[in-house]
């Protein structure tokens, strides 16, 4: 609609109202009855837009049996949750580093340094886990 490389939920809903588009999706074995729900699954970063190539890949992944669709939806939800978790961990690590710098500038020491370093180790483990968004979970 607006000639960019992304798709908004409004554009998707308009697109899915077309009979020719629905016929193509049925031919591909796709039943996208809940456009907003499908869009939310694909909008991993909650930007309100989905890149068109990711939309196409999402459609292709959802082809087939109901079990396959359920499996792919669970995978998409997991990636979305992992992305949000990684963002939270990154913010937490940033805040801990900022607090440590402020503490050093003031010449005081943080009394819970062992706790802080433990949290950083956990954060590093989460960020570098095999299923983090930077290293997507392998698909079947």
Report the share of the chain in percent with pLDDT over 90.
Answer: 15
Are 65 and 18 in contact, with CB atoms under 8 Å apart? Answer: no
Architecture of domain 1-64: Orthogonal Bundle (1.10)
Give CATH 1.10.238.10 domain extents, the chain. Answer: 1-64
In sign, the C-alpha dihedral spanning 15, 17, 19, 23 is positive
pTM exceeding 0.75 = no
pLDDT digits 0-9 by tens, 40-58: 778 878 888 999 888 888 7
Q: What is the pLDDT of residue 90?
A: 93
pLDDT digits 0-9 by tens, 47-100: 889 998 888 887 777 776 666 667 777 888 888 889 889 999 999 999 999 988
pLDDT digits 0-9 by tens, 10-36: 898 888 889 998 888 778 777 766 667
């Amino acid at each position: 609609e607006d000639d960019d490389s992304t798709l908004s939920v409004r554009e998707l809903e308009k697109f899915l109202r077309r009979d020719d588009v629905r016929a193509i999706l049925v031919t591909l074995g796709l039943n996208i009855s809940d456009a907003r729900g499908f869009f939310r699954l694909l909008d991993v970063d909650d930007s309100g837009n989905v890149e068109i190539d990711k939309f196409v890949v999402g459609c292709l992944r959802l082809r087939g049996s109901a079990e396959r669709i359920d499996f792919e939806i669970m995978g998409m939800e997991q990636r979305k949750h992992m992305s949000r978790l990684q963002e939270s961990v990154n913010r937490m690590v940033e805040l801990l580093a900022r607090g440590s710098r402020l503490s050093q500038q003031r010449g005081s020491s943080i009394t819970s340094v062992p706790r802080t370093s433990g949290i950083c180790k956990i954060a590093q483990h989460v960020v570098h886990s095999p299923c983090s968004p930077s290293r997507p979970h392998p698909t079947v």
